[in-house]
């Protein structure tokens, strides 16, 4: 975790968020050690250097973590709570995050979750919004034709 990651107060996080955050933090080193060995798919090259708000739902509760992807798609600046300067929003459910944390290769599990639409990615701002809408359309079309 880096003090450079802008975040807000965490009083609105659900009770389960602290444990999930701690487990996510413990998984980052394994993810980072594996990410250069796999192809992250259609969106992989576009994730580099993005600032992410990661929204995790469980029923009617939502936790938000934030992080930055470096130029090699490694997770840096992991922090509980959202970033003020996010360029992407990733959304998923708690079960998907649990699966990624528990996977032998979390980077491959992340890629698979994105490809299976268990994690959705959208851009923040006009340019990133259009870019990620186009990436998602291409990914959806590739899935329809069994290209990915």
59-104 tens-digit pLDDT: 999 999 999 999 999 999 999 999 999 999 999 999 999 999 999 9
In a domain, residue 79? The reply is yes
- Which domain, by its residues, includes 62? 17-143
In a domain, residue 1? The reply is no
pLDDT over 50 (residue 7): no
In a domain, residue 6? The reply is no
In a domain, residue 4? The reply is no
HSE, side-chain direction, 13 A CA sphere, residue 98: 8
At residue 144, the pLDDT reads: 62
Q: What are residue 65's phi and psi, to 5 degrees?
A: -115, 165
In angstroms and rounded to an integer, the radius of gyration of the C-alpha atoms of the chain is 15
At residue 11, the pLDDT reads: 59
Per-residue model confidence as pLDDT tens digits over 9-47: 455 899 999 999 999 999 999 999 999 999 887 677 889
Contact by Cβ (8 Å): 80, 23 = no
Task: Tell me the DSSP string of 77-124.
Answer: EEEES--TT-SEEEEEEHHHHHHHHHSSSHHHHHHHHHHTTSSEEEES
- How many CB atoms within 10 Å of residue 86? 22
In a domain, residue 11? The reply is no
In a domain, residue 93? The reply is yes
We report the CATH number of the domain holding residue 24 as: 3.30.1050
CA dist., res. 4 & res. 145, Å (int): 43
In a domain, residue 89? The reply is yes
Q: How many domains does the structure of the chain reveal?
A: 1
Banded model confidence at residue 147, pLDDT cuts 50, 70, 90? low
């Amino acid at each position: 975790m880096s003090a450079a990651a802008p975040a807000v107060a965490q009083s609105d996080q659900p009770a389960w968020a602290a444990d999930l955050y701690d487990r996510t933090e413990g998984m980052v080193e394994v993810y980072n050690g594996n990410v250069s060995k796999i192809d992250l798919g259609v969106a992989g090259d576009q994730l580099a250097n993005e600032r992410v708000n990661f929204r995790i739902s469980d029923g009617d509760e939502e936790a938000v973590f934030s992080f930055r992807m470096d130029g090699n798609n490694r997770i840096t600046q992991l922090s509980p709570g959202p970033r003020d300067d996010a360029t992407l929003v990733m959304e998923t459910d708690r079960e998907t995050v649990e699966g990624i944390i528990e996977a032998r290769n979390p980077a491959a599990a992340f890629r698979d979750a994105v490809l299976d639409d268990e994690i959705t990615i959208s851009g923040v701002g006009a340019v990133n919004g259009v870019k990620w809408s186009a990436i998602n359309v291409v990914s959806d079309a590739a899935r329809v034709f069994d290209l990915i």
